[in-house]
Structure 1
Amino acid sequence: MDTGAAVHHLQTYERVWRDFDLINEAQPTKANGAPGRLDPSGQTAGIRLGLPFCRDLTPDSVDDPELSRFIAAHPQSTYSTVQLACTFTPDADDEYTRATLQVFLSRADDQNTPPLPVAYSMSPRRQVDTGTPVTFTLTASVLFVEAAVEMTRPLRRDKVFLQAMNIKLPDPGWEFRRTPKSRIDGPHDLALVTVAPTNVPVHGRLAVNAEVRRKGMPGWFRTRPEDAAALTFTITG
């Protein structure tokens, strides 16, 4: 499917931002093994997430004829776009050295048998260490094109700032890495296309992990279990 001439843009929407605390994986414990009290100044980090905006793709909802025909030719599957964003705002004494934003997909009918919902495509797939912020316009067809592109050019790991992971799996995500020229800082737009059986709603859940150097000391932080409901969303299917 050649969708290079695509003109169907992802739908403009009013982004909803929400701030979340990340807790330190190495939580202090009391002598009896019970959880100790966290020091908010030293045991939490923060991230701002643009909550997911989801939309099913139908033959009539896209402007690209070839993409429309592709969707129509697969009536047993529902393709949906999920747009989200994240903003890293490290404190003065903090430096994010690595971070992952992961999406866990599952069938809302609680059946764990195939076909399972997966990420058919993701954008961006990769950003290299240029030291210059990368901007791009997301289109539904661009996402489908990227699904067919295999990245074969080898790159040194320390040159890759952003890498999509687990494409074609139920737990896709993006990994950010501090590089010599690029800090993990500021906003990032992300999007994926999911595919699931038709008429099967899909649940999604976001999770964030971050390695933060605070005053030179590394720590690994993650989203709090009590925020699970706020990080969950539904794709209609």
Structure 2
Amino acid sequence: MIDVILPDLPERELALLSEETPQPTGPRLAGRVILGGPVALPVTAELVGPDPDLLDFLRTEADNAVYHLVHLSVTCARDTPGPVLHSVNLDVTLTAEPVRRGGTVFQPVAWSMTPRQLTGQAVAGAAERAAHLGPRLGFRHGVPTAYGERVWLEARRELRSDPGWEIRRTSAVRIDGTYRLAMVVRAPRAAVSRAAVAVGATVREGHTLRRFRHELADPLRLAAPR
């Protein structure tokens, strides 16, 4: 197992457009969500070198696949005037194009994601500074969720090309503070891979839930290891 220090991330404040009237002149949700990243780091032999098992796994995959660490964060401001945040979603779309014309490749997938689940027993808004990579480049997770506990942060669609996380307001936890997120992406070696990111949010106004969304214009290119 190795510890990976999560890097400082460039941040941008998002103005999410209404999904009901998504025109630029329609309603917006501004000043409530800040996105950090995304930033990608190739998983190299130097990175996993301290763990012989991880190094062997990387070598067995070397002919077909490469791996990337993708880091993001979401910061939510609870005290900003406006409706209460009910949920926040971060969605990633992974794609790959062959390097040579006519080539075929498999689609990248979220090989492992962290956090996988957080419950009311965790500290909301805590920003972890390290992630732990164990066997086969999978993140090591903490104590499993106990029966009956309300999950307020959850990784979704692991091992697929459309992974993401959902942060939910519960009776015990409000959406507030910074949430650090990371995934290991398995991608084809003979391809140019990219990660497109979108952020959604729902707010409650009385008994009505209103949905907003922002899609980053430029997908993140996942640079192949040298």
Amino acid at match of 2:66: T
- Is the Cα contact below 8 Å between 1:81 and 1:194 reproduced in 2? yes
Q: Distance in 1 between matches of 2:103 and 2:156?
A: 21
Amino acid at match of 2:42: D
Is 1:173 equivalent to 2:173 in the alignment? no
Is 1:60 equivalent to 2:46 in the alignment? yes
Amino acid at match of 1:9: V
Provide closer, same or farther for how the CA distance between residues 174 and 196 of structure 1 changes in structure 2, counting only shifts above 3 A.
same
RMSD: 2.9
How far is 1:165 from its partner? 0.5
- Is the Cα contact below 8 Å between 2:119 and 2:150 reproduced in 1? yes
Provide closer, same or farther for how the CA distance between residues 166 and 93 of structure 1 changes in structure 2, counting only shifts above 3 A.
same
Number of matched residues? 215
Q: Distance in 1 between matches of 2:186 and 2:71?
A: 15
Picking from 10, 19, 34, the partner of 1:25 is 19
Q: Distance in 1 between matches of 2:162 and 2:73?
A: 17
How far is 1:96 from its partner? 1.1
1:37-116 aligned at under 5 Å gives the runs: 37-38=25-26, 43-45=28-30, 46-62=32-48, 63-75=50-62, 76-90=64-78, 91-109=80-98, 115-116=106-107
- Residue 137 of structure 2 aligns to a residue in which SS? helix
Q: Distance in 1 between matches of 2:57 and 2:16?
A: 41
How far is 1:65 from its partner? 1.6
Of the structure 1 ranges 131-140 and 64-73, higher mean CA displacement relative to structure 2 is found in 131-140
- Residue 38 of structure 2 aligns to a residue in which SS? strand
Q: Distance in 2 between matches of 1:228 and 1:68?
A: 35
Q: Distance in 2 between matches of 1:236 and 1:74?
A: 17
- Is the Cα contact below 8 Å between 1:93 and 1:214 reproduced in 2? no
Where does residue 205 of structure 1 map in the other structure?
Answer: 196
- Is the Cα contact below 8 Å between 1:94 and 1:215 reproduced in 2? no
Picking from 209, 215, 221, the partner of 1:234 is 221
How far is 1:112 from its partner? 10
Where does residue 118 of structure 2 map in the other structure?
Answer: 127
How far is 1:146 from its partner? 3.8
Q: Distance in 2 between matches of 1:47 and 1:162?
A: 16
Where does residue 139 of structure 1 map in the other structure?
Answer: 132
Of the structure 1 ranges 159-168 and 129-138, higher mean CA displacement relative to structure 2 is found in 129-138
Unaligned runs of 5+ in 1: 1-5, 29-34
How far is 1:188 from its partner? 0.5
Is 1:162 equivalent to 2:153 in the alignment? yes
- Is the Cα contact below 8 Å between 2:97 and 2:192 reproduced in 1? yes
How far is 1:56 from its partner? 1.1
- Is the Cα contact below 8 Å between 1:47 and 1:88 reproduced in 2? yes
Provide closer, same or farther for how the CA distance between residues 116 and 206 of structure 1 changes in structure 2, counting only shifts above 3 A.
same
Q: Percent identity?
A: 27
Q: Distance in 1 between matches of 2:114 and 2:122?
A: 19
Of the structure 1 ranges 68-77 and 124-133, higher mean CA displacement relative to structure 2 is found in 124-133
Amino acid at match of 1:48: I
Provide closer, same or farther for how the CA distance between residues 98 and 8 of structure 1 changes in structure 2, counting only shifts above 3 A.
closer
Q: Distance in 2 between matches of 1:96 and 1:73?
A: 45
